[in-house]
Structure 1
């Protein structure tokens, strides 16, 4: 059985350690080899699904894919405080994910305050809040 099939089988069995070990050996961020790059994204997804947030956090220091996957995972878990902390430390993606989370859970005022506190000059963060405040969205 080829490594790919073994990795898929391990993933299906939720044997995260085996799946992660197999995939990471064939993964490279921004590789010119499409398969290596795709495997890198798969690796980040496996880490998130395995709940290995400390590894994702460490990788997120230098890897944009790890950072985005970590932020998305924190959002899926409803971990507002963790996103807020990452945004406070300068992670703009975390700010955008936090603002969307707040807006989508009918906390538009809190989202506006988060933008004012964490990125008052960030026009994109303001645009996210404005979309939810528009009359067509029904948000107040």
Structure 2
């Protein structure tokens, strides 16, 4: 599996173009071949690490793995406004990532406002907030 070693070497060198080209040629979303599916996930990770957010954003329209990796990448980069916009546009994954980020940074009230604005009936968003409430805080 020569391409695999070449891709790993390129990845270690941070030669994103080479790594992405090699991996994407052997990647397939939801493939029946688990290796091709794993390569798809690797491809999405490489795109994020290469900071190709526009490509991830485009792929996120139809690819759940790209959407998840994009939202994680936005969080890692502290791009709350982008997460908020994605949540506003109906991306539930972005909503969950944003709510968790707000709760983890002691902004439960802001998280509550975000849930009320973008997913007032979303039970999972409410569960995320509930995990961060302390019994004595009385936070709603």
TM-score by length of 1: 0.95
Contact 1:71 1:94 in 2 (8 A): yes
Question: Where do 5+ consecutive residues of structure 1 fail to align?
Answer: none
Partner of 2:129: 129
Q: Tell me how far apart the structure 2 counterparts of residues 46 and 139 of structure 1 sit (CA, whole Å).
A: 42
Is 1:75 the counterpart of 2:78 in the alignment? no
Partner of 2:120: 120
| Cα displacement (A) at 1:130 | 1.3
Q: Tell me how far apart the structure 1 counterparts of residues 138 and 4 of structure 2 sit (CA, whole Å).
A: 46
Q: Which runs of 4 or more aligned residues in structure 1 lie more than 2 Å from their structure 2 counterparts after TM superposition? A: none
Q: Tell me how far apart the structure 2 counterparts of residues 139 and 86 of structure 1 sit (CA, whole Å).
A: 30
For 2:103, what is the secondary structure of its paired residue?
A: helix
Partner of 1:107: 107
Report the count of equivalent residues: 139
Q: Tell me how far apart the structure 2 counterparts of residues 77 and 112 of structure 1 sit (CA, whole Å).
A: 22
TM-score by length of 2: 0.95
CA RMSD of aligned residues (A): 1.4
Question: Where do 5+ consecutive residues of structure 2 fail to align?
Answer: none
Matches within 5 A, 1:12-31: 12-31=12-31
Contact 1:87 1:118 in 2 (8 A): yes
Q: Tell me how far apart the structure 2 counterparts of residues 94 and 19 of structure 1 sit (CA, whole Å).
A: 27
CA displacement, residues 84-118 of structure 1 (integer Å, 9 cap, x when unaligned): 00000000000000000000111111001100011
Contact 1:108 1:139 in 2 (8 A): no
